[in-house]
Structure 1
């Protein structure tokens, strides 16, 4: 049964969704996240059925390209002329007040954080979309071009530690011979800038004990709760206690384990493993981003879980299982080899 993992995921999430709904109807709604997450998984699955793998990846990459092509110049404008942020819409995100120009969300209001979040709520989320689009573009063309260069510039502007690491691996994955040497040479040439950036991130996240504990303590506390209650605690209880117990972790894995238990976490791991079977690069981007971002349930993410259930593993080309009849746009790049 090719959709077995989907049904396993739905079955594993259903009990807590029903329990959370019952608790909410009885005591009052403190969160709608349990409905959102369940619905998002279903929407992602339906997307995977409407579009073939090739079609979805084309639509995804083109959408990110147009959004990035708007967001990056806007970000440069904000860096050059910060006062323009005063004309953007004001919105609340958690405890913070930010500004938005729809295609660009600016973190902070009076004290702007100059990191490109693009259309996403945080730079760490934005880099995920950019790195996926970069991977798709390089897989299709087999070489660095202006399109992939735009993604590289945007990823650098996010100043996301994970984003930069993923980008470096993706680029090295698709470069050969002198091109790979050139990439390494550019990295060495930019070592000073990268070192300064790394030092800033080190001081902000590691050396700063408060910032480090702010990220690590919730993760450790969440892991302890998962060990004590491996069947999960549900979204209702999680929302009620996460501040007091400090279990509001920043990653996807503990969030899944807390809300739905270790069985659901294991199924999510199997889904990522299935992606890796067909595309190690895509799986690497998803796996790594999940370490720092709780985005596992978003429809655009969950769609990737089920895309490859439609592919018949005929031949493996550069780590991607080839379909018998790829659509024309991929015939010279994605499935049968690199162009040129």
Structure 2
């Protein structure tokens, strides 16, 4: 091999690495827009996502036939939001449609990548977040003097380098602090940590270290929803292994598996008991209020919803809100809804909301398809993130249309088939 070929190979490798890092940066910005992060304005993140995605993909790609069902859904969404909101809500509509556009851009960037590309792009950043989750409570316990505090929206956050951050719902209630990650909220953090566990269990060569790290990271958040998803992922992984293992392996797994899973089941049970009957039972009451009040708001406008304006939600919730709970008047009248599924239904109505949910079940970004859909939708029951770019990318992938090419066009096209168009 001559020197020119070697230099060309190195140059191509450098370009490929630069492209990978840029894709990961766009994905990371989309994730930050899809969480509770408040310190970085959303506008620069949106510009970053769009600029990188459109550097990889012609923006006109989003207007091709395979995206047709998505655009029909978005047009129907703006129509019912206007009807349900009873006015043109400029700011809420711009916020939602900027998220829709970012989700579409991310989807367009990955639609022609090979299968598993998005999992590989996510792996390195989510592994960093897993270390972040595990180290935050350890650092807070061992070297608390490294941490400083700051106030944001009447909540005191404690941080070291703005990487290892936590806040306490009840001061001194737990020895190990709940990590917030980059999201200001452990419940959001667990979503991405469970996605990391999903990738480690189902999409990469099995690594005891990675799976153990991901498991500890999810447990560190002390999220009840996160614990439920953790158990779900392990149960499916256990069942899939039993189906493919040899006879002796099955016997070993049947004996050893339950013993290994016992700590996870114990953690989930303890967490559930704490949230419903322990010091953190107020969290369960607040979630119940959000669910019942949100469903009452849904039934006020079941066909069109009430639009995207939160002020209108507060007005309707004040009239029909669930009152049979020990919550303060301030919590009941000024509390935004934490249930993403209910938020979806009361914003755009039941018919279109069901289309979003059906699309999530058909997602083509990750396999096993239904398991990832279950992870996302279960997470949405405790976090109102369904209208954010990363989640929308997954949801929109379920609406992609399979388009046929003429035989001549297929023969002339050198690109591999879309990773998202592969049948499951």
Instruction: Tell me the TM-score normalized by structure 2.
Output: 0.63
Aligned: 1:37 with 2:96: yes
Equivalent position of 2:208 in the other structure: 145
Aligned residues: 308
Other-structure match for 2:188:
125
TM-fit CA distance, 1:36: 2.1
Matched, 1:301 2:391: yes
Name the structure 1 match of 2:135.
73
2-structure distance, mates of 1:129, 1:38: 23
Task: Specify whether residues 4 and 312 from structure 1 end up closer, same or farther in structure 2 by C-alpha distance, changes over 3 A only.
Answer: closer
Secondary structure at the aligned position of 1:38 is classed as: helix
Evaluate the alpha carbon distance shift between residue 295 and residue 268 of structure 1 in structure 2; reply closer, same or farther with a 3 A threshold: same
Deviation at 1:235, TM superposition (A): 2.5
Give the match for residue 338 of structure 1.
none
Q: Is 2:340 the counterpart of 1:266?
A: no
Q: SS of 1:98's equivalent?
A: strand
CA–CA distance in structure 1, aligned partners of residues 264 and 236 of structure 2: 20
Q: 1:256 aligns with which of 344, 352, 356?
A: 344
Q: Does 1:202 align with 2:276?
A: yes
The unaligned stretches of length 5 or more in structure 1 are 26-31, 314-322, 328-334, 336-340
Alpha carbons of 1:39 and 1:21: their partners in 2 closer, same or farther (altered >3 Å)? farther
Checking the alignment, whether the CA contact within 8 Å between 1:71 and 1:119 is kept in structure 2 is no
* 1:159 and 2:217 aligned: no
For the residue of structure 2 that corresponds to 1:234, the secondary structure is: coil
Match of 1:104 in 2: 164
Match of 1:215 among 267, 278, 287: 287
- Which whole-Å CA distance do the structure 1 matches of 2:190 and 2:350 have between them? 28
* Worse overlay, 167-176 or 145-154: 167-176
1:92 aligns with 152
Counterparts of residues 213-252 of structure 1 (less than 5 Å): 213-230=285-302, 231-236=304-309, 237-241=311-315, 244=318, 245=321, 246=332, 248-252=336-340
Task: Please report how far the alpha carbon of residue 103 of structure 1 lies from its aligned counterpart in structure 2 after TM superposition.
Answer: 2.4
Question: How far apart, CA to CA, are the structure 2 residues paired with 1:193 and 1:298?
Answer: 30
| Residue 168 (structure 1) aligns with | 231
Taking a change above 3 Å as real, the CA distance of residues 63 and 258 of structure 1, as seen in their structure-2 partners, is same
Deviations along 1:36-66, whole A, 9 cap, x unmatched? 2221122111111112353222212222112
> How many Å apart are 1:285 and its aligned residue?
0.4
**Maintained 8 Å contact 2:81/2:305:** no
For each residue in 1:137-158, what CA deviation from the matched residue of structure 2 results, as whole angstroms up to 9, or x when unmatched? Answer: 2212353421222111100111
Measure, in 1, the Cα distance between the counterparts of 2:73 and 2:129: 31
- Contact 1:162 1:289 (8 Å CA) reproduced: yes
The answer (yes or no) to whether the contact 2:219–2:227 under 8 Å persists in 1 is yes
For 1:261 and 1:304, the matched residues in 2 are separated by: 21
Distance 1:305 1:285 in 2: 12
- Quickly say closer, same or farther: Cα 1:242–1:154, change in 2 above 3 A: farther
Matched, 1:182 2:272: no
Once structures 1 and 2 are overlaid, which stretch shifts more, 107-116 or 52-61? 107-116
| Backbone CA RMSD of aligned residues | 3.5
Note the C-alpha offset of 1:239. 5.0
Structure 2: 5+ residue stretches without partners: 1-64, 242-249, 322-331, 404-414
Q: Distance in 2 between matches of 1:24 and 1:170?
A: 40
Q: CA 1:299 to 1:143, structure 2 compared with 1: closer, same or farther past 3 Å?
A: same
What SS does the aligned partner of 1:105 have?
Answer: strand
**In structure 2, C-alpha distance between the alignment counterparts of 1:258 and 1:121, rounded to whole Å:** 25
Please point out which of 75, 80, 88 is paired with 1:11.
75
2:308 is paired with a residue whose SS is helix
Structure 2 residue corresponding to 1:46, chosen from 93, 102, 105 = 105
